[in-house]
Amino acid sequence: MSLRIACDLDGTIADMEGALQREAEILYGDDVVLRAAGAAHIEGPPDNSQLPTPNSQEEQGAVAVATERTTAKRVLSGRQLRQLWEHVAKIEDFWTTLREIEPGSVARLAAMRNQHRFEVIFLTQRPDTEGEITQLQTQRWLEAHGFELPSVFVLQSSRGKAAAALGLDVVLDDRPENCLEVATESKAKPLLVWRDPPETVPPGAARLGIETVFSIGEAFQRIETIASQAGTSTFVSRLRNVIGI
């Protein structure tokens, strides 16, 4: 059986936060961090409607608490985070500059695709920057890291709806909310790539059908197991049809 697999990019295989951190240090100094320890990972530009008014007491208080929890580092305020994304939008072909979180993982996924005849698509909600369109930047990045002829879909809506529309079997993502969409809106199996301590895995994830792995390498091993089980199941079904049971 040929599995149809979707793989998220930022936070799953591409180190967006590392690239943002480097740009933040250019703007604000090397003593800043994007987020406090344990805070949610950054996915994209913040929604202005969900952020405190710049310089408000609420924002100042949140920054003070976050800074206290992050040793000798200043956590970016909501206003600074907005400014950072405005800065990134002006960088030509920014999405081609990212590093792999686990070096060699893109090439390994390509090898799995070729060996097992998987169908692979990459999903992202990256905003536009100067230079080529986001889809082309992303394709060039994947090719540069060893994935020939990558399919990239820049999403504008739910990943669950995309998984259902594309008839996907497995979706890799580092965001619990994205995995929840996949679990509730499609028949695909979501694999949550969680790099924080195991005790911080969102409670109830397994009950909702979300399986957690702690590296992209572990995710690939799980996919190979799923493919093997699916192949065995298909063979048994065909055998039963042949012998009439």
User: CA nearest 134: which of 99, 162, 95?
Assistant: 95
pTM of the predicted model as reported, rounded to 2 decimal places: 0.84
Domain boundaries, the chain: 4-15+98-243, 16-89
Which segments within the chain are labelled E, that is strand? 4-8, 32-33, 74-75, 119-124, 152-154, 170-173, 189-193, 211-213
CATH number of the structural domain 4-15+98-243: 3.40.50.1000
Mean pLDDT of all residues belonging to the chain: 87
Instruction: Give pLDDT, residue 71.
Output: 55
User: Rounded distance, CA 14 to CA 23, Å?
Assistant: 16
At 146-173, the pLDDT tens digits run 999 999 999 988 999 999 999 999 999 9
Task: Kindly state the tokens that stand for 46.
Answer: 């913040």
Place of tokens 């200043």: 74
At 89-144, the pLDDT tens digits run 999 999 999 999 999 999 999 999 999 999 999 999 999 999 999 999 999 999 99
